[in-house]
Amino acid sequence: MYASEQGILNEQMNVQIQAFENETLRRKLLIVSTLGAKFGKDGDEYFYIISHLPENDCIVGFGKTPMKALDEFCKMYGI
């Protein structure tokens, strides 16, 4: 049995999407690492932070998962 042309195209698209998501994650983690952001957990939320709360120059991202905290941190940083 052979795969349909549409099935092959769908699989190729899935591979490209996964590669893009992996590259995006790699870039975000590289930025967080370069900036020296600290990672932690406060109650039921994870966070990435530069500086200390409540300082004006503080950049922090909170989330229910480490990935959501990373996304929020990058959004707050302007990435």
Q: What secondary structure, in 3-state letters, does 12-68 show? A: HHHHHHHHHHHHHHHHHHHHHHHHCCEEEEECCEEEEEECCCCCCCCEEEEECCHHH
- C-alpha dihedral sign at 37, 39, 43, 44: positive
Give me the pLDDT at residue 2, please: 65
Does 43 score more than 80 pLDDT? yes
51 and 59 Cβ atoms separated by less than 8 Å: yes
pLDDT tens-digit readout, 59-70? 999 999 999 999
**pLDDT average, residue stretch 14-38:** 92
Give me the pLDDT at residue 7, please: 84
